[in-house]
Structure 1
């Protein structure tokens, strides 16, 4: 490996030294490139190969300049240094880069914020750019991130902006729909009811044009009406984002999954995982510790949401709340509890029909089902339920 000179230090690592071949299998760069001395660093500066430079010179062309690809968990993967019409977008589009109104003049990988860098995609995009004559600087910083609370607040604000935008789109489409329908009615009002087209008469062509205009406006009115319904539906979905994310039952299920992910990460850190992580490798250990910190922060955030819901009257059910013979309410139906488990209750199979399902009324050959505590909506004692059933039966009999 040859180290000839150095470039200025990158913002999170030391100076980058020139490398001519002999890359590690993880880097897989070819030709002339630069990297920092940190063994876990993925940053690099790729330059066109001497062969490509000679080819460009023979064609009377010059190297095209420098493109910078950066990634932080706070901002995602961004590509800067490109201008409209320079061909960069066409090169990196197959590698998931796109453009948007929120970042004018910058290309980015969608949904890359708050996530680990997709190094494979970044590397392939950089190699494609260098093959086209560009120098490429790769700057990956996995430690710069925003808190989960900040990310969640940003998602809520974006959802509110989408709701407002789609409301406006829906209103505009509805207005256009009514305009087209009104125009069709206006034209139709000028035609006597039941009047056919008089073939051969001097009014034939005008009548045909009126018919075409009525048909065209009605079709446009229907299309714009469907568009208005579509945007209204999207506005409603965006407007309910906050309520959807903070639904207590859904949040409890999310916490359960996050805690399982946290246990998996800890097993990998302990060297007992089976997912190819090596806790003795500096890059692997750093990433696993990042994941652990992020998961702990997210679990804490959602537990705060549940605590607030409990303060507002929401009940978090557990095995301490149920006993065999009680009834649990799930999706509008009461089921008799046959067994109390650590995370669920066992009940007669949910394919039994009716507002109340008991073990005597199990019509599915004794088949059972388990209902997680985080999906239950109520509890009633067995004696109280049987009194209610008896009273209802007596009332029906007297009637």
Structure 2
């Protein structure tokens, strides 16, 4: 549209489109900056609405003070009747305006607080690890499409039926290559973020090599004994006290004690009552 408008005015316009993906570090930096600007704008809006609410309540108080003292009833037929009715209507109207302004101010404040927490939530350790796992899963799927793959439909005795998918070709292969390259950059960025979180102690990095059966692990403030150690998670007793077991991914664990440390903690009486055997 802009190019056409300029050409219509006699300008020579050359359009060049760069389809290359921007580096993830630039994309995330811009996202954080935009969110910070949005938070600032919402906080200013909340402040303005709070000021309006304060003024509305002051107007309501003045309207109430203008009413006859002591809850005096309307004197039907008296010369003050109309003035009294107008004063009551004004007080009611000012009250409604004040309540509405107060609700608007609270809503604006909630939006500002929610926006302020957006970046923090996006970079929470659990969210970052979940995002990395999702990126890796999507990457493997695209790589299979690009390189070709096969899947077993069924096995019946000595008969194995396999469906084969050839490597992608042409424009679709180019699209896959582009997505894979872009996603690889994203994976590198988020893995660097996670490495920094682990180094700073904001994120845990447990796994089969650090946790053993019988150890205690912490999740959501409670401590639970490890029933089984799995590749990507630990099995613990039911977190709601049932007879079954639950699995908890390693990256969601917030603490770990070896079996001997757990026994000492229990003896000292400092283990949460949420520990279940």
TM-score of Structure 1 vs Structure 2, range by shorter chain: 0.7 to 0.9
Aligned length: 246
Unaligned residue ranges in structure 1 (runs of 5+): 1-66, 69-79, 83-138, 353-363, 394-399
The yes-or-no answer on 1:174 pairing with 2:50 is: yes
Separation of aligned partners in 2, 1:163 and 1:306: 25
Alignment of structure 1 residues 94-173 onto 2, 5 Å: 143-173=19-49
Compared with structure 1, are the counterparts of its residues 350 and 196 closer, same or farther at alpha carbon in structure 2 (3 Å cutoff)?
A: same
The yes-or-no answer on 1:251 pairing with 2:251 is: no
Separation of aligned partners in 2, 1:301 and 1:231: 34
Q: Root-mean-square deviation (CA), in Å? A: 2.3
Contact 1:173–1:227 at 8 Å: present in 2 too? yes
Q: Which residue of 2 aligns with 1:294?
A: 182
TM-score scaled by length of structure 2 = 0.82
- Which structure would you say has the larger RCO, counting Cα contacts within 8 Å and 6 or more residues apart? 2
Contact 1:278–1:284 at 8 Å: present in 2 too? no
Q: 1:208 aligns with which of 85, 91, 108?
A: 85
Q: Which residue of 1 aligns with 2:192?
A: 304
The yes-or-no answer on 1:282 pairing with 2:187 is: no
Unaligned residue ranges in structure 2 (runs of 5+): 6-14, 152-164, 271-277
Q: Which residue of 2 aligns with 1:262?
A: 139
After TM superposition, give the deviation of residue 81 of structure 1 in Å. 5.0
After TM superposition, give the deviation of residue 166 of structure 1 in Å. 0.7
Contact 2:74–2:84 at 8 Å: present in 1 too? yes
Q: Which residue of 1 aligns with 2:9?
A: none
Alignment of structure 1 residues 17-36 onto 2, 5 Å: none
TM-score scaled by length of structure 1 = 0.58
After TM superposition, give the deviation of residue 165 of structure 1 in Å. 0.8
Contact 1:156–1:241 at 8 Å: present in 2 too? no
Compared with structure 1, are the counterparts of its residues 176 and 270 closer, same or farther at alpha carbon in structure 2 (3 Å cutoff)?
A: same
Runs of 4+ in 1 over 6 A off after TM superposition: none
The yes-or-no answer on 1:328 pairing with 2:217 is: yes
SS at match of 2:263: helix
